[in-house]
């Protein structure tokens, strides 16, 4: 078995955690793969692939070490090459991660096959610019469309298969997968959705309306977003760098042909995360503030 390790070394304790993971995997007879820059940090203790793309194409399993953002950065590539992904949390929340640092002994399950996998739906977002150019991205979590906060509220029109389903003013819109329903969409008032489902969630950000509610679309709908903006609109795909668009540009969102296979070591990661992380997170934040 070959495992590609993709750590976010900017996270607190991620370097120590990565060193532990390397040691455990090698003791299990697993071939550990890293890119040269990362391998250098760990004394050349792993095999190397020149690029992340090459590493993912060569491995059987991708392990991310960091937080949910680390998973999002690698998700589309793992899906493209049809590789299973295991997240190890070194961040504060790590809702999508299957393992905490204290549970690294469970890595032996990768060799024995004692784990479950979940298929996670993804979204394709395409921006068609007025000059004829196009940009397309594939996301695991969400597509967030917001106005420039130097400007006033903007008008957004949302169509599903060509039929208008929403037209109102708001700070922005969120289109999420069931996986992304526990992220920004949840904070904006959207529902939790079991991540093994297929659907597209649509949530407004601070709508100027008393009737605006989150909507759940059939996964096969083609969603179109039109804007009427005084300034520029920012679109972020899975929290990546913002793409600037204007009222003359169109946004299309649909279910992707790609899906991500996520490893769940315990078999109950989603519901466990709801009770241990989402429910207790606010309490932990207040306790951290009191300790300062």
Which residues participate in catalysis according to the annotation? 68
Q: What is the DSSP letter of 264?
A: E
Distance between CA atoms of residues 76 and 140, nearest Å? 7
Instruction: Provide the Cα torsion 153, 184, 18, 13; round to 10°.
Output: 80
Distance between CA atoms of residues 269 and 120, nearest Å? 14
Q: What is the DSSP letter of 278?
A: I
CA distances in angstroms from 46 to 26, 102, 239, listed in the order given: 9, 23, 30
First to last CA, the chain: 45
Burial profile 254-268: b = 16 or more Cβ within 10 angstroms, e = fewer: bbbebbbbbbbbeee
């Amino acid at each position: 078995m070959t495992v590609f390790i993709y750590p976010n070394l900017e996270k607190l304790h991620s370097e120590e955690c990565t060193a532990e993971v390397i040691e455990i995997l090698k003791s299990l007879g697993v071939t550990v793969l890293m890119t040269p820059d990362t391998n250098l940090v760990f004394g050349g203790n792993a095999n190397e692939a020149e690029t992340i793309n090459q590493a993912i194409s060569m491995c059987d399993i991708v392990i991310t070490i960091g937080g949910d953002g680390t998973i999002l950065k690698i998700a589309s590539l793992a899906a493209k090459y049809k590789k299973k992904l295991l997240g190890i949390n070194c961040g504060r929340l790590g809702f999508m991660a299957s393992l905490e640092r204290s549970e690294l002994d469970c890595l032996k399950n990768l060799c024995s096959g004692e784990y479950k996998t979940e298929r996670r739906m993804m979204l394709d977002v395409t921006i068609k610019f007025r000059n004829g150019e196009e940009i397309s991205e594939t996301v695991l979590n969400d597509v967030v469309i917001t106005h420039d906060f130097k400007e006033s509220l903007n008008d957004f029109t949302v169509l599903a298969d060509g039929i208008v389903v929403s037209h109102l003013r708001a700070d922005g819109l969120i289109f999420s997968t069931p996986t992304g329903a526990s992220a920004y969409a949840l904070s904006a008032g959207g529902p939790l959705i079991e991540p093994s489902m297929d659907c597209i969630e649509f949530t407004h950000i601070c709508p100027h309306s008393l009737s605006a509610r989150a909507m759940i679309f059939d996964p096969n709908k083609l969603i179109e977003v039109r804007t009427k903006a005084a300034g520029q609109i920012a679109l972020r795909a899975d929290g990546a760098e913002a793409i600037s668009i204007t009222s003359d540009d169109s946004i299309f969102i649909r279910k992707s042909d790609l899906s991500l296979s996520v490893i769940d070591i315990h078999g109950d990661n989603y519901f466990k995360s709801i009770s241990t992380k989402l429910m207790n997170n606010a309490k932990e934040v207040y306790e951290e503030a009191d300790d300062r």
